[in-house]
Amino acid sequence: MISGPESRNKIVLAFRHLAFEDLGAFADVFANRDYTIEYRDMGVDQVSTDEAMAADILIILGGPISVNDVGMFPFLADECTVIAERLKAKQPTLGICLGAQLMAQALGASVYAASKPEIGLVPIILTHAGENAATRYFKTIKILHWHGETFDLPLGALRLASTDICSNQAFSLGPNIMGLQFHPEAGPDGFERWLIGHHVELMKHGIDIGVFRQAYAAAQAALAQAAKNFLNAWLDGLVTKSIDPI
């Protein structure tokens, strides 16, 4: 497990692309482990490589834009550069949805449109590696998906999970680096903000918001517990010894 000098607070630095897509169900786990959470809003806040490298944990959160939208959102280029440096050093990094796609791109893999959008509560299929990783806690539940793109498996990474639509739903690269295309962090509080904020997208794809709300409400307790179990297991497996760069 990650630890530092007693005189220094452990820092979780979260790259956030939408105000309501935050750490959600993960926040309590970090608080219970005496981490201080610091958000940086991408496209607004300046983020330096030094700041990212100094954090104990880097979490790269989701958002509705594409990693390929750099022409419209130039900050993506700088964000990807910072992420690449962090991954090169094999420092603890977790990406969620867009975050996982940014990690994949930073590792040299392609990110592109999936065969169709995947929005809703869908079970994932774990690989053998996934059943022996922190992702094992998602084996028996339907989990929240909200993406229209996917990515190739980065060189050297282990595939942990897939669905019928996206073969690469989760990957790891050693104990410290993990990308999840799905959303375990979307906790029981605040999901209505997701429905409001993504209303146009939901309507575009013919998704009944009332049905979606009801399904998530029924699943949220199990989802939140699985998210906490997952994060605790991932944190317990982190290593801080010096290792060769990627």
Nearest to 153 by CA among 113, 83, 104, 114: 104
pLDDT value, residue 79: 97
Residue 180 inside a domain? The answer is yes
Q: Is 185 a catalytic residue?
A: yes
The two beta strands, 170-172 and 158-162, are antiparallel
Residue 84 inside a domain? The answer is yes
Active-site residue (options: 21, 118, 149, 185): 185
Residue 244 inside a domain? The answer is no
Residue 4 inside a domain? The answer is no
Q: Is 183 a catalytic residue?
A: yes
Alpha carbon distances (Å) from 196 to 20, 114, 203, 208, 229? 10, 24, 11, 13, 28
Q: What domain count does the chain have?
A: 1
Residue 29 inside a domain? The answer is yes
Cα-Cα-Cα-Cα dihedral of 94, 25, 113, 139, to 10°? 90
Residue 207 inside a domain? The answer is yes
- Mean pLDDT by runs of 10 across the 246 residues of the chain is 55 96 95 96 94 97 96 96 97 98 98 95 97 97 95 97 97 98 89 93 94 94 96 95 49
Nearest to 57 by CA among 243, 236, 187, 246: 236
**CATH code for position 199:** 3.40.50.880
Residue 112 inside a domain? The answer is yes
pTM of the predicted protein model: 0.93
Residue 28 inside a domain? The answer is yes
Active-site residue (options: 17, 145, 183, 198): 183
Is residue 171 classed as helix, strand or coil in its secondary structure? strand
Q: Is 97 a catalytic residue?
A: yes
pLDDT value, residue 188: 75
Domain span at residue 14 reads: 10-236
pLDDT value, residue 8: 66
Active-site residue (options: 21, 79, 97, 147): 97
